[in-house]
Structures are given as C-alpha cells and as structure tokens.
Structure 1
Amino acid sequence: MAFKQELELYLQFVKLEKGLSENSVVAYRNDLERYFSYLQGYKKISDLAGVTLNHIEDFLNYLVDEEMLAAGSLARNISSIRGFHEFAVVEGITKANPAELVELPKKASKLPEVLSPDEIMAMLDSPDTSTDAGIRDKAILECLYGTGMRVSELTGLEKDRLIFEIGFIRVVGKGNKERLVPVGEVAQQAIEIYIEQVRGKFMSDKDPQKAKNKVFLNQRGGPLSRMSIWNIVQKAAKNADIQKNVYPHIFRHSFATHLLEGGADLRAVQEMLGHSSILTTEIYTHVDRSFLHQVHKEFHPRA
C-alpha cells in the first residue's frame, strides 16, 4: 500500500510521543488506511506531495455518502487526517499541509442525493448482457437497488444466504448483525441467471477456494472489491448518460426513498436497511415530504 512507511512512522509517534492507548492507535490506523486507500484507488495518488485540500474534502464526502458515518466518527477521521499531515510537515516528509483548512463536509447536513426511478431503470438496463461481465454487472446493479444493501454487504454476500424459495436474502451487516431482506423477482432472476450462466466461468480452476463461496466474483475467480463495484456503477452511469454524481451508495438512498414515496412504513424500511435507530432512517422522510410537497403543488387546485 502507498504511504505505508509514513503511516507506520506516524503511528509510532502517536503511541510513543503522545502516549495514546492501543485502542486509539488502532482507530488512527483504520482511519488513515481507509484514507490512503481512497487516495490511491479513487484519485490515483501515490505520494503526499500530490494530495490537495479538494482530495481530502472529496474523501470526507465519500465517508458521508458511502459509509454513512456518524458525526462523531467523521470528526475523528478529520482529527486523524489533520494530525497525520501536520506530522508529515514537521518531520519534513512533505512541505505543505493540505488538511490545515479542512472542515466538516457540507453534505453532512444535507439530504442524501437520489436517482429518479427513470434514472435507475436506465442504469439497470445499461450493462451489455451479451457478455459474461455484463450479465454479472446487471445482477449486481439489480441487487443493490432491489435490496438496498451496502456495498460491503454485497461484496461479502455468500451463496448460502440466498433464500430465493421464500424471496429473501440473509444480509450480514455492520457489527456482524444479520437481517432478512426481501428481494423482488427481477433482481432474483438477474442473480440466478448470473449464477447459472457466468459464475462458474469466473471460478479459478487452479484455486477453486479463492471464491470462498462469495456470490459475485471477478474474472480471476476472487471476490469483487469495493473499488470494482464503484467502477461498475460508474460505467453504468456513463452508459445511461446520468449527469448526477453517481456512486454505489446512491442505490441504497434511492431504494429507501422510492419505498417511502410508494407508501412504505418507516419501520419496515428501517428493518430492510438494517438501521439500529429509526432516527437514521428518518432522514429519508424529509426526502419523501419534499416529494409530497411537489406533488401537492403540481396537482392541488389551491396549492
């Protein structure tokens, strides 16, 4: 991993010089490893000199959009990033501190962005299903929108958790908590076609255990990474000519919003999303209310 040497130097500093506890050091490591992975994977940056304030702000927005971090966790990530960049300047590793002026992302206080049903359909229809990769990609997109699961839940999904005979998928979420999520016929059919026609072709003859029973595989027989899902979603958005900022988690936002717009019970949506608190799910009621206001204004004679 890029930045590995700098990270180890910084962790040694906070442990020995600042006297932080082992748990705090582990938290710093997790925060910064995710930060560096984002810089390297999404921004193609391999050294600190190339990091700018915009890159850091993009990462924090990613944490809000993709990871749905709570305000406390987001603040800790900012502290980790600020501390690291300050250390890098003091130690002469780099000349500038791009984190000096970083603030909480504005998106943190905004409603989640969603796609319209038409935009979703355009993306779901965009993969080229005459190819093996296209069949897989369509199944992935249908699964994301059809269940509202997180990307990490999708990449970790195993075959024995597909309970299609009763129309459910057993999803393992944050904190290793399990929940049953209903899956519609369209998504179910797309996943079944992928498993029957494509998954076996992707499995490695030399190392069949590489797949570890995972549903969605890359063409080398291993489980798909979060970055792979990002690329699949980006490709679908481009092919569908979607102009909005599209990322994998937007399917989850759209899933919840479209259910509420259709009249679904908030508690039911909370259960399907795997939110431990109804307060987390309630953000989508604001999206729903704005939709209702729009409908009222458009169709009510006295609006």
Structure 2
Amino acid sequence: MNFKKTRVILHKQITNFIQYLKVERHYAINTQQAYKRDLEKLLVFTHKKSLSQWSNLTSEHLNLFVMELRHQDISARTIRRNLSSIRGFLTYLVNHEQLSDNCAIHLQSPKIDQNLPNILNYDNILLMLKPRSNTWLELRDVAMIEVMYSCGLRVSELVALNVNDVDLNQGFLRVVGKGAKVRHTPVGKAAQQAISRCLFDHSNHVLFVNRKQQRVSVRAVQNIVKKRALKAGIKVNVYPHMLRHAAATHFLQSSHDLRSTQEFLGHSSIKSTQVYTHLDFLELSKVYDQCHPRAKKS
C-alpha cells in the first residue's frame, strides 16, 4: 500500500470519529470542529514522521508532537485540549478494534498555569559569544558560554570541569551530572576552539578559574551570563540554564530525535517522556555533528 493511500485511510478514520461524536455522542458543532482541527494537526505530524498507520504512533512521537507545539508558542491550555482530542480519538479506535493500545492514555499534559522557559534564539547567543577583547577573562567567559550552549551543560556541571575532563583530540567532555552520573558529551568545533584559547598558558588542573586561580563559582557564572546578555542588548533576564534549554531546543528542532536529545542532556528521562532508548557515544556524536548549530566550523 502506497503512502498516499495510507493517508486517505488515516484521514477517513478521523472523519469517522468526528461523525461518531456528532451522531452517537451528540457533541456540539464547535466541539466537533475543535476535535477535527486537533486531529488534523496530528495527521500532518504523522505525515512528517512517515507513519503509515495509527498503530505506528508511540508515546515518544506524542512527546515530540507536544514539544513542537510548545516551540510554536501554543498555550498550555491549547496543548491540553489537543492531547484530550488525541486520547479520545485513540480510545475510539481501540473500542472499535482498529487499534490495540492507546499510547496517549498516560501522557502527561502541561499545567495550564505553567510558564514555559524563555528561549534564546541563535542570533542572541552569537551576540553573547562575540569577544570584546583578547584578555584572559574575556576568553574564559566566552569559553564558558560556548561550552554551556554547545554541550548543553548545567551550570553546576560546567564549574565542576577539570582540565583532564577535556579530550580535544577525540572531541568530547567527561561530565559528572546529577547523582554523580558520568556521561561523555560531544564538543563541537566552536567549543573546542574556545577551550583551546582559554587553556593557553593554563597551569591549573581546574578548567574554569577566577582571578585567584580558584574554581569559578555558580554565582559568578550566573552574573557573567546576565551581564553579557545585557551588554549584547538582550531584553529578557538571561540565566545559565537558558543556554542549556536553547541547546536542547535547537538540537531537537534540527534532529527531531527525542532520544538523542535525552542522551545529549544527560537525562535518564525527560518529564512527560516514557520511552527511553540508550544511544552509544558514536551514534550520539553523529547526530550531534549533523544537528547542533555549533558542531562544525563556520
């Protein structure tokens, strides 16, 4: 069966469901139309993912679908309604023996009052990364921001880095995350260059140090990020975790691969994600090189 025919079948099942809401459930016309709009969005998504039947749809797909809606600045209330429509539709298919399992049934909806984090766009990040001098402190600050963004690090992970955690030849960092969990994170060319400049004439075993040659503190990094954003003319209050969030957002938007994004960030799971498949470092490096905007030389 070709893909065009499968799309017709998927659309027909949605049409049958809307008719069921009208005839058997006696839903109002506005409610029927809302269901139809929500499910047509899902249909477009399944087309992009080359899903030929509803049984190919997984909770992981739906998590990615929700993330795409969030990145389009769609409100939490609207996303909740979308998920409600999808649950209702898949339940209908299960009840009519057209589907064996409803993968949306346990999917967590965003809270209505949940404020989504501000996302730094790539142009803003480039402004923050622009060196203003060749002083050691300036090179250090640029390197810290580059590493947080390019590698998606938490600020606590950044300040804990030692020189021997960096392997510029192989292109990765050894990162100690939450719960002392160790991961090896790919380092793009831009971050490698920033680290190399920072390490010139560097004798300390700690990677990022202050004027007293002591490990830089979390508070210091927070202040540095905030000040650089202000100098760059960025209007919102910028804090280090926004760089990690931007890294995740840009990585996911390019790769459309939730599992790779989980591994990149060092998450054992992402909230609202039930399916997790471990990727080895070589596979993650390949996805990173293809997808992160700071992976390659410009």
TM-score normalised to structure 1 length: 0.51
How far the C-alpha of 1:166 sits from its partner, in A, is 1.4
Other-structure match for 1:10? none
Larger radius of gyration between Structure 1 and Structure 2 = 2
For 1:186, which of 184, 190, 208 is the aligned residue? 190
- Where in structure 1 are there 5+ consecutive unaligned residues? 1-105, 204-212, 283-303
Give per-residue Cα distances to partners, 1:61-107, cap 9 Å, x unaligned: xxxxxxxxxxxxxxxxxxxxxxxxxxxxxxxxxxxxxxxxxxxxx99
Whole-angstrom CA distance in 1 between matches of 2:151 and 2:273: 15
Select the structure that is richer in helix: 1
Quote the residue 1:218 is aligned against: 210
Relative contact order (alpha carbons < 8 A, sep ≥ 6): 1 or 2 greater?
Answer: 2
Whether the aligned pair in 2 keeps the contact of 1:124 and 1:138 (CA below 8 Å) is yes
Task: Indicate yes or no: 2:118 matched with 1:113.
Answer: yes
With over 3 angstroms needed to count, the CA separation of the structure-2 counterparts of 1:174 and 1:280, relative to structure 1, is: farther
After TM superposition, give the deviation of residue 272 of structure 1 in Å.
1.1
Alignment of 1:62-211 (within 5 A): 109-125=114-130, 127-197=131-201, 199-200=202-203
With over 3 angstroms needed to count, the CA separation of the structure-2 counterparts of 1:224 and 1:263, relative to structure 1, is same
Q: CA deviation at 1:108?
A: 7.7
Identify if the C-alpha distance between structure 1 residues 264 and 196 changes in structure 2 by more than 3 Å, giving closer, same or farther.
farther
Aligned residues: 164
For residue 110 of structure 1, report the CA deviation from its aligned partner: 2.2
Structure 1 stretches of 4+ with a deviation exceeding 6 A read none
How far apart, CA to CA, are the structure 1 residues paired with 2:154 and 2:128? 18
What do the CA deviations read for 1:174-214 (whole angstroms, capped 9, x no partner)?
Answer: 000001111100111100111114x34xx5xxxxxxxxx21
Please name the residue that 1:274 is paired with.
Answer: 266
Shift of 1:234: 1.2
Secondary structure at the residue paired with 1:171? strand
**For residues 107 and 242 of structure 1, do their structure 2 counterparts lie closer, same or farther at Cα, with a shift above 3 Å needed?**
farther
Which amino acid is 1:168 matched to? Answer: F
* Alpha-carbon offset, residue 159 of structure 1: 1.1
Q: Which amino acid aligns with 1:130?
A: N
CA distance in 2, matches of 1:243, 1:263: 29
Does structure 2 retain, via aligned residues, the 8 Å contact 1:275–1:281? Answer: no
Whether the aligned pair in 2 keeps the contact of 1:161 and 1:169 (CA below 8 Å) is: yes
State the percentage of identical aligned residues: 45
Q: Distance in 2 between matches of 1:128 and 1:138?
A: 10
| CA apart distance, 1:165 | 1.3
8 Å Cα contact 2:225-2:240 kept in structure 1: yes
- Structure 1 position 137, deviation (Å): 0.6
Report the 3-state secondary structure (helix = DSSP H, G, I; strand = E; otherwise coil) of the residue aligned with 2:213: coil
CA distance in 1, matches of 2:112, 2:224: 24
Rounded to whole Å, the distance in 2 between the matches of 1:168 and 1:113 is 28
**Residue pair 1:269, 1:281 contacting (<8 A) in 2 also:** no
For the residue of structure 2 that corresponds to 1:109, the secondary structure is coil
Tell me the secondary structure at the aligned position of residue 114 of structure 1: coil
* d(CA) in 2 for partners of 1:171, 1:234: 24
Give, as a single letter, the amino acid of the residue that structure 1 aligns with 2:119.
V
| 1:175–1:124 Cα change, 3 Å | same
Distance 1:253 1:179 in 2: 18
Q: Do the aligned partners of residues 179 and 128 (structure 1) sit closer, same or farther apart at CA in structure 2, a change above 3 Å counting?
A: same
Residues 194 and 115 of structure 1: CA distance in aligned 2, closer, same or farther (over 3 Å): same
Q: Distance in 2 between matches of 1:228 and 1:169?
A: 22
- In structure 2, C-alpha distance between the alignment counterparts of 1:162 and 1:134, rounded to whole Å: 20
